[in-house]
Amino acid sequence: MASVFTIVDSRNKCKFRLTLASVNHRIIGMSSRTLSVPSSVPAWPVVAELLKPITWFPPMWAFCCGVIASGVSPDGRWFLIITGVLLAGPLVCASSQAVNDWFDRHVDAINEPHRPIPSGRMPGRWGLYIAIAWTALSLGVATTLGTWGFAAGAAGLVLAWAYSAPPLRLKQNGWWGNAACGLCYEGLAWVTGAAVMAGGAMPDSRTLALAALYSAGAHGIMTLNDFKSVEGDKRMGIASLPVQLGVQGAARTACLMMLAPQFVVVLLLIFWGAPMHAITVGALMLLQALLMDYFLDKPVDRALLYSGFGVPLFVAGMMVSAFALRTLGQAAA
């Protein structure tokens, strides 16, 4: 026979009758709803979030710019092109994102607590394990692109680890860190695309010049990403440009870093005999300048907006410049 307990509430003059069976039923029901054992292995969607697919586009685009600028027909080279694009984005760039998230986990706990590692959705040291595994996979794929492709892939990975990991941790200083990102995302990928198409030969001076200029411009683009994390960077001792120069100073510097290299590109295209391409790049610059004026009024609030609308104009100019080199090469032939 079940035991029965009577509880008297003297204040409200009420009686409650409980049985052991009902108490057990309630406890078990609560336990099944509230207690769960966390998984020791991250889910695939969490791994994908760690690798940040949205960041893969710039190096993939830059590699394609190098392919176009080389002037070489893609016939018979599609395997190299597809492999190079995958290496630039889903492999090397994804590796850099995993490395950065692991070594930035304490900063992200302040700036972006929803990220996979600080939120606990990426348990234990899985973030580090994935960074190492993706780096090894990237090196393996890079071997299929010949000596130049492997060297470029390895250089990109070295920059990725140097950017985030001690002892170098280049991102501790916004000037060095953004330069490393710009070189890896734009210049190195562009030159690699051109070199792979040329059978491993060093690209000509015009390709190297444009790759260097757009790398410098990407320095400003990298600064846009720093406005969302000013408070956390200050607390963790990361000297991003908004921390060093203040929000307004960093915003003006970012705009100058984006516009100045493009202005030089316009002058070079005119000098090389590609005036129509120069006019197109100049028009894209003008549109960027209009958006920059809006961005500079409230940099922290509008950095994301500029990234969505202004940066595509920058990368469009890259492709226009690549086609200019292709046209010049075909004319010379």
- What is the residue-averaged pLDDT of the chain? 89
User: Looking at the chain, how many residues does it have?
Assistant: 333
Mean pLDDT over residues 69-74, rounded?
A: 94
Identify the CA nearest to 145 among candidates 69, 206, 92, 187: 92
Segment 179-191 shows an average pLDDT of: 94
pLDDT at 330: 80
Confidence (pTM): 0.85
Q: How confident is the model at residue 222 (pLDDT cuts 50, 70, 90)?
A: very high
> Given the structure tokens 């000297």, which residue do they identify?
239
Pairing mode, if any, of strands 4-9 and 14-19?
antiparallel
pLDDT at position 13: 52
Per-residue confidence (pLDDT) for residue 333, from 0 to 100:
62
With a cut of 90, say whether residue 139 has pLDDT above it.
yes
* Contact yes or no for 248/228 (Cβ under 8 A): no
pLDDT higher at 177 or 23: 177
Q: What is the pLDDT of residue 17?
A: 53
Alpha-carbon gap, residue 48 to 38, rounded angstroms: 19
Residue 15 has pLDDT above 60, yes or no: no
